[in-house]
Amino acid sequence: MLRIKTSLSNSPINGIGLFAEENVQKGKIVWTFNPLVDLVFSPDEWNDLQKKISEDSFNQIKKYAYKENNRYVLCVDNAQFMNHSDTRCNVGNLKDGDIMIALTDIQKGDELVCNYFEYSDADDAHLQQIL
Domain boundaries, the chain: 6-130
Residue 14 in contact with residue 3, Cβ under 8 Å? no
C-alpha torsion 107→12→128→77, nearest 10: 50
Tell me if residue 130 falls in helix, strand or coil. helix
pLDDT of 124: 82
Residue 98 in contact with residue 35, Cβ under 8 Å? no
pLDDT of 87: 85
Across the 131 residues of the chain, what is the mean pLDDT of every consecutive 10-residue run?
Answer: 97 94 98 93 96 94 89 92 89 84 98 87 76 55
pLDDT of 125: 77
Region class of 102: left (phi > 0), else alpha (psi between -120 and 50), else beta: beta
- CATH number of this structure's domain 6-130: 2.170.270.10
pLDDT of 122: 80
Strands (E), the chain: 6-10, 16-20, 29-32, 38-41, 65-68, 71-75, 83-84, 91-94, 99-102, 113-114
Which residue in 50, 106, 65, 114 sits closest to 88, CA to CA? Answer: 114
**Residue 78 CA: distances (Å) to CA of 17, 42, 57:** 9, 22, 18
pTM of the model: 0.87
